[in-house]
């Protein structure tokens, strides 16, 4: 099969866009990716759009066609892909397969969601469609409740503490300050995380992701479609794998892991010929003018 490359990317700012139609966000990100790719629109062979809850929250299930039409991409296959939180990743994989197999030379992929316009009740009901409500719904769990149970299970098995989880929150929010497209950035302390409102014990407010509106897009293509602008910064897709597991929470023997995710990672390593082995080298930088007394430089790679 052919090698697949990322030719262009685009993204809106993530946050609250309650007055912006969902397809408008997707068109914005998609147009950015097309322009950056330098690939003419008549060379785009297909559109894949990842989305989970545009039906219940927006009343629009034919988003791929709507977005393609507004981008001036007519007469080509347009497919909306739903796979809960993995919707965008699955759409990306299908696009890569279209290019790798030679069906298309270039494909546009968009992921989009809008949620902030909906009530908490409607949003929670929509998100709960990611579980088998006939079997798991009777438990009364929402996803914060489910992942609260996962945290308790992880703590029993590995001794995970409130401080361990807070460290991840603090790191993530600090990174958000450096990204102008991020929904939320903050310089949080451990005390602030621990003092935030309880959502589903032990999950607190800062542990939970907020509802969000936004879109992101990429153009993937064969190498011969890349113009001069991309030849010095090639981004090659080494692997993209998809597996499946039970949709029922009760059928997962361990809440601390997803067997499907483990299998997908193993397939991706096999496809790419990479391994999980990490090597690293470190050196001490000697003190000198303008330097601290000691500094450590490290490098790690797969």
pLDDT band at 290 (very low <50, low <70, confident <90, very high): very low
Mean confidence (pLDDT) of the chain: 88
Measure the CA–CA gap between 119 and 115, rounded to whole angstroms: 9
The pLDDT value given to residue 228 = 63
Instruction: Find out whether 10 and 31 touch, Cβ atoms under 8 Å.
Output: yes
List pLDDT tens digits, range 66-115.
Answer: 999 999 998 999 999 999 999 999 999 999 999 999 999 999 999 999 99
The pLDDT value given to residue 142 = 82
Segment holding 237, helix H or strand E: strand 235-237
Instruction: Find out whether 76 and 48 touch, Cβ atoms under 8 Å.
Output: no
Instruction: Find out whether 42 and 68 touch, Cβ atoms under 8 Å.
Output: no
Q: Is residue 34 scored above 50 in pLDDT?
A: yes
Of 5, 87, 90, the closest CA to residue 264 belongs to 90
> 148 or 134: whose pLDDT is higher?
148
List pLDDT tens digits, range 209-268.
Answer: 899 999 999 999 999 998 765 555 679 999 999 998 888 877 888 888 889 999 999 999
Q: Note the pTM of the prediction, 2 decimals.
A: 0.86
The pLDDT value given to residue 178 = 96
Mean pLDDT of 187-212: 94
Residues contacting 77, CB < 8 A, separation 6+: 45, 46, 47
CATH class of 4-117+211-272: alpha beta
Q: Could you tell me the residue ranges of all domains in the chain?
A: 4-117+211-272, 134-207
Q: Is residue 284 scored above 60 in pLDDT?
A: no
> Phi, psi (5° rounding) for residue 51?
-160, 150
Residues contacting 273, CB < 8 A, separation 6+: none
Tokens of 130: 């990611």
Of 54, 51, 45, the closest CA to residue 90 belongs to 51
Q: Above pLDDT 90, what percent of the chain?
A: 72
Length of the chain: 302
List pLDDT tens digits, range 135-147.
Answer: 777 777 788 888 9
Handedness of CA 5, 8, 13, 19 (dihedral sign): negative
The pLDDT value given to residue 52 = 96
The pLDDT value given to residue 295 = 37
In the chain the first and final C-alpha atoms are separated, in Å, by 24
């Amino acid at each position: 099969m052919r090698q697949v490359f990322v030719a262009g990317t685009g993204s809106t700012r993530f946050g609250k866009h309650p007055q912006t139609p969902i397809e408008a966000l997707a068109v914005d990100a998609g147009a950015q990716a097309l322009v950056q790719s330098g690939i003419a629109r008549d060379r785009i062979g297909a559109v894949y759009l990842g989305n989970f809850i545009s039906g219940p929250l927006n009343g629009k299930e034919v988003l791929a066609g709507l977005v393609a039409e507004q981008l001036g991409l007519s007469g080509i296959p347009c497919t909306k892909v739903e796979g809960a939180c993995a919707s965008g990743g699955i759409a990306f994989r299908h696009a890569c397969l279209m290019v790798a197999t030679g069906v298309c030379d270039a494909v546009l992929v968009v992921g989009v969601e809008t949620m902030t316009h909906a009530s908490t009740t409607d949003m929670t009901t929509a998100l709960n469609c990611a579980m088998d409500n006939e079997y798991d719904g009777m438990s009364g769990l929402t996803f914060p409740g489910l992942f609260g149970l996962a945290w308790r299970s992880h703590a029993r098995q590995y001794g995970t503490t409130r401080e361990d989880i807070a460290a991840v929150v603090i790191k993530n929010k600090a990174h958000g300050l450096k990204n102008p497209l991020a929904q939320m950035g903050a310089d949080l302390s451990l005390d602030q995380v621990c003092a935030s409102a309880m959502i589903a014990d032990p999950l607190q407010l800062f542990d939970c992701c907020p509802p969000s509106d936004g879109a992101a897009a990429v153009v993937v293509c064969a190498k011969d479609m890349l113009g001069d602008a991309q030849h010095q910064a090639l981004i090659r897709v080494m692997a993209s794998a998809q597996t499946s597991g039970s949709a029922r929470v009760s059928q997962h023997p361990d809440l601390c892991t997803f067997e499907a995710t483990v299998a997908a990672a193993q397939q991706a390593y096999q496809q790419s010929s990479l391994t999980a082995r990490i090597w690293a080298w470190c050196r001490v930088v000697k003190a000198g003018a303008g330097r601290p007394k000691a500094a450590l430089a490290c490098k790690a790679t797969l």
